[in-house]
């Protein structure tokens, strides 16, 4: 597909502003020597090329068909491609799932044809691709793209055209640019697998709005980052209104939180904006990696040096190289009296290329230097061109990179401001850490058999029969009990029920699958201490909830409140979550996620440096006990595909007794109940 010898453009046009014409002109390239077959029944010649009314009229073999006609005609010409035995197709045309039900039906037809005939289809609703390594532009983007080491995968064609405008000065070269569009057949995993094997691709960048095959994506990227950096800008992370969320887990493990965890586990470097992605691509592509995180700032102006110092000081990953007294003496001999030999090294406003060069040569002899930020403020006497020339020469020979930062002036071979470089170096350091973590052999993940007793199977059968998507509390209790999770028992009560004298304080609450948030709807009453109050509160609740079940349980001593839960993500499967519960939920924004399966050792590792760990330490609680309870929930979530959401909120933890789950919610995936 990406290196065709012959291409049919279905919907070619003689009008130069039309996409069908731009595609033909982009493909016309003497270096690539591609045979081009324009398809348009109303013309005989387009761009001096013989034109055909259909692909079926072409006598030669066709490696690739590019379809750029109205959506309603696409299925018909796709069938013609099948008859012509064309296996590779790009559908540029829009008007499919992105446009409503009618378009969605058309897209399903495309998928059926592709599956039946083993077709590779890019799109629909895409820009096409650019194989810059082989000078093939099968897109309607700009014609000239500098070749280089960046392989770009984008769900959006507009993103690519925008990025190419930024890249027009040639700061970064590309190997392949692949746009995915609606991802009906080929998706990001297919493109990643291709670019992983492509010798011309040194770095992979992605722009995604969603991820289609979550688990496959995670596994694929985890392998690739051991050989090539993978940089991702994921759009569509803003908070959306979430309807009918049963649990705190469902709300806390939202799409953005899950994606962040996936990226962390895969070891990719992710970005929040295009500027940071671009600068990091530029550094990965154009400079060797920093040797270590200890940097030197070399500057001819104090202000920019201070700004760069602040940014490094705030960095989680970067640090300053501390010069020894002996090294400072060597530097002083090369500099004027007023220069500073503390890091940042201020060589003053009259610094010429020789002064920059002398300092760089000294840095070269120091083993601990990881990289240099060379700040240049253009002043009347500053020989900028010579300074940049010297830096370029040193970058070819030195073991560490030198990043030229020409303050306020934009050039192809420089950066404008320190923040661009430092943000990118943060990401580079993060990538190196991710590589090391991913290289470690993960602890064994055993198979689980939790929450699968005959009693639970009976509850599931009843729920499916009643088309009930939530367990009653008694059923939820049986589930946690089968998983060895100690849970506060509840009893259904009626007008004849009595206050239990064995309990100091009682709680009564409504128990109905339709009432997701009981407290907010007045379905919970706490602090009941005697028969009189018990009868009174039951009567009030019965008046409010006339037919629903009402249950009573002991109001237990409060401990440290923790939320533990499961959410089945549509792309990545079951996600395990732990967070701070109770009133601290609003104060301490702490949530830790795991992509299942996971084991206790991994859980303990991630808990170790959390705010929860600090709370447990302060309250003399055992973190190992928390890891054990989380692990029990994780086993249950991994084994049972019928579990859509599971929420213990809260589970109380005590210094002198076993933890206790006080409230449990279970939401069911009825389609997965056998």
H helix intervals, 59-174: 74-83, 101-117, 157-166
268/430 Cα distance (integer angstroms) = 9
43/12 Cα distance (integer angstroms) = 9
Q: DSSP letters along 560-590, please?
A: EEEEEEEEEETTTEEEEEEEE-TTHHHH---
Domain boundaries, the chain: 1-125, 126-286, 288-439, 443-487+558-674, 489-555
Nearest Cα neighbor of 328 from 370, 290, 296, 294 is 296
What's the predicted TM-score (pTM) here? 0.84
Query: What tokens does 146 get?
Result: 């500098």
Q: What does the longest C-alpha to C-alpha distance in the chain come to?
A: 96
Query: What tokens does 432 get?
Result: 């190196």
Query: For 458, how many CA atoms within 13 A lie in the half-sphere containing its CB?
Result: 6
Q: CB-based contacts of 398: which residues, under 8 Å, 6+ apart?
A: 360, 364
For the CA atoms of 46, 47, 50, 54, what is the dihedral angle to 10 degrees?
A: -40
Fold category of 1-125 in CATH? Rossmann fold (3.40.50)
pLDDT, position 53: 97
Cis, peptide link before residue 344, omega less than 30° from 0:
yes
Write the class of the CATH domain 126-286.
alpha beta
Nearest Cα neighbor of 357 from 405, 394, 308, 304 is 394
Q: What angle do CA 215, 480, 465 make, to 5 degrees?
A: 80
Mean pLDDT of 602-625: 94
Cis, peptide link before residue 369, omega less than 30° from 0:
no
pLDDT higher than 70, residue 587: no
Among the four given CATH numbers 3.30.720.110, 3.30.470.20, 3.10.20.30, 3.40.1000.10, the one describing domain 443-487+558-674 = 3.30.470.20
Residue 338, Cβ density class (10 Å: 0-12 exposed, 13-18 middle, ≥19 buried): exposed
pLDDT, position 276: 86
pLDDT, position 450: 56
pLDDT, position 510: 93
Cβ–Cβ under 8 Å, residues 428 and 280: yes
Instruction: Indicate the average pLDDT of the chain.
Output: 90
How confident is residue 513, by pLDDT bands cut at 50, 70 and 90?
A: confident
Residues in the chain: 674
Residue in the block written with tokens 């400072």: 328
Q: CB-based contacts of 60: which residues, under 8 Å, 6+ apart?
A: 6, 35, 37
Q: CB-based contacts of 474: which residues, under 8 Å, 6+ apart?
A: 490, 492, 511, 551
Q: DSSP letters along 343-400, please?
A: SSEE--TT--HHHHHHHHHHHHT-TT--EEEEEE---TT--HHHHHHHHHHHHHH-SS
DSSP tally for the chain: helices H, then strands E: 21, 29
Q: CB-based contacts of 266: which residues, under 8 Å, 6+ apart?
A: 217, 218, 221, 222, 225, 230, 438
pLDDT, position 249: 54
The per-residue pLDDT for range 100-139, each reduced to its tens digit, is 999 999 999 999 999 999 999 999 999 999 999 999 999 9
Cβ–Cβ under 8 Å, residues 661 and 488: yes
CATH architecture of 489-555: 2-Layer Sandwich (3.30)
pLDDT higher than 50, residue 246: no
Query: What tokens does 473 get?
Result: 């509390």
pLDDT higher than 80, residue 444: no
pLDDT, position 585: 62
Superfamily of domain 288-439: Succinyl-CoA synthetase domains (3.40.50.261)
Domains 288-439 and 489-555 fall in the same CATH topology: no
Nearest Cα neighbor of 279 from 406, 418, 180 is 418
pLDDT, position 240: 46
């Amino acid at each position: 597909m990406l290196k065709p010898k012959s291409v049919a453009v279905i919907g070619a046009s003689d009008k130069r502003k039309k996409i069908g014409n731009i595609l033909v002109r982009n493909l016309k390239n003497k270096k690539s020597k591609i045979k081009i077959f324009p398809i348009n029944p109303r013309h005989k010649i387009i761009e001096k090329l013989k034109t055909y009314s259909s692909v079926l009229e072409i006598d030669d073999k066709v490696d690739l068909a590019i379809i750029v006609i109205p959506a309603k005609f696409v299925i018909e010409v796709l069938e013609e491609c099948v008859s012509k035995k064309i296996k590779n197709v790009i559908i540029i045309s829009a008007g499919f799932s992105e446009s409503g039900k009618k378009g969605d039906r058309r897209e399903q037809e495309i998928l059926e044809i592709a599956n039946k005939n083993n077709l590779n289809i890019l799109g629909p609703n895409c820009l096409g691709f650019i194989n810059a390594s082989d000078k093939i532009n099968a897109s309607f983007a700009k014609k000239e793209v500098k070749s280089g080491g960046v392989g770009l995968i984008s769900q959006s064609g507009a993103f690519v055209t925008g990025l190419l405008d930024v890249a027009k000065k040639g700061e970064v070269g590309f190997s392949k640019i692949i746009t995915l569009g609606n991802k009906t057949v080929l998706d990001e995993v297919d493109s990643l697998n291709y670019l992983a094997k492509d010798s011309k691709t040194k770095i992979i960048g992605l722009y995604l709005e969603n991820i289609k095959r979550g688990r496959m994506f995670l596994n694929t990227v985890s392998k690739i980052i051991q050989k090539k950096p993978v940089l991702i800008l994921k759009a569509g992370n803003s908070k959306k209104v979430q309807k009918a969320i049963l649990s705190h887990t469902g709300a806390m493990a939202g799409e953005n939180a899950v994606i962040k965890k996936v990226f962390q586990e895969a070891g990719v470097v992710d970005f929040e904006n295009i500027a940071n992605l671009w600068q990091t691509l530029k550094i990965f592509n154009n400079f060797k990696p920093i040797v270590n995180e200890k940097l030197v700032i070399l500057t001819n102006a104090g202000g920019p040096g201070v700004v760069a110092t602040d940014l490094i000081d705030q960095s989680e990953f970067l640090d300053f190289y501390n010069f020894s007294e002996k090294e400072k003496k060597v530097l002083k001999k090369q500099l004027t009296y007023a220069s500073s030999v503390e890091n940042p090294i201020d060589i003053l406003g009259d610094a010429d290329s020789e002064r920059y060069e002398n300092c760089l040569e000294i840095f070269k002899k120091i083993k601990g230097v990881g990289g240099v930020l060379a700040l240049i403020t253009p002043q009347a006497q500053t020989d900028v061109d010579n300074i940049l020339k010297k830096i370029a020469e040193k970058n070819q020979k030195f073991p560490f990179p030198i990043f030229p930062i020409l303050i306020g002036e934009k050039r192809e071979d420089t950066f404008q401001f320190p923040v661009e470089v430092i943000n990118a170096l943060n990401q580079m350091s993060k990538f190196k850490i991710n590589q090391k973590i991913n290289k470690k052999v993960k602890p064994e993940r055993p198979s689980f058999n939790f929450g699968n007793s005959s009693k639970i199977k009976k509850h599931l059968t009843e729920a499916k029969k009643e088309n009930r998507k939530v367990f009653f509390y008694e059923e939820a209790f049986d589930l946690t009990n089968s998983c060895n999770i100690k849970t506060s028992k509840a009893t259904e009560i009626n007008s004849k029920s009595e206050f239990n004298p064995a309990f100091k304080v009682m709680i009564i609450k409504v128990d109905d699958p339709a009432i997701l948030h009981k407290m907010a709807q007045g379905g919970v009453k706490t602090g009941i201490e005697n028969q009189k109050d018990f009868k009174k509160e039951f009567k009030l609740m019965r008046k409010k909830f006339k037919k629903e079940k009402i249950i009573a349980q002991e109001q237990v001593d409060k401990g440290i409140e923790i939320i533990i839960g499961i959410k089945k993500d549509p792309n990545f499967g079951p996600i395990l979550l732990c967070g701070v519960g109770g009133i601290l939920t609003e104060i301490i924004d702490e949530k830790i996620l795991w992509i299942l399966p996971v084991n206790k050792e991994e859980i303990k590792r991630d808990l170790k440096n959390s705010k929860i760990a600090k709370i447990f330490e302060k309250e003399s609680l055992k973190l190992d006990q928390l890891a054990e309870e989380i692990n029990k929930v994780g086993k249950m979530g991994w084994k049972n595909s019928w579990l859509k959401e599971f929420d213990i909120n809260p589970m109380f933890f005590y210094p002198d007794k076993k933890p206790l789950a006080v409230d449990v919610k279970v939401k069911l995936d009825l389609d997965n109940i056998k």
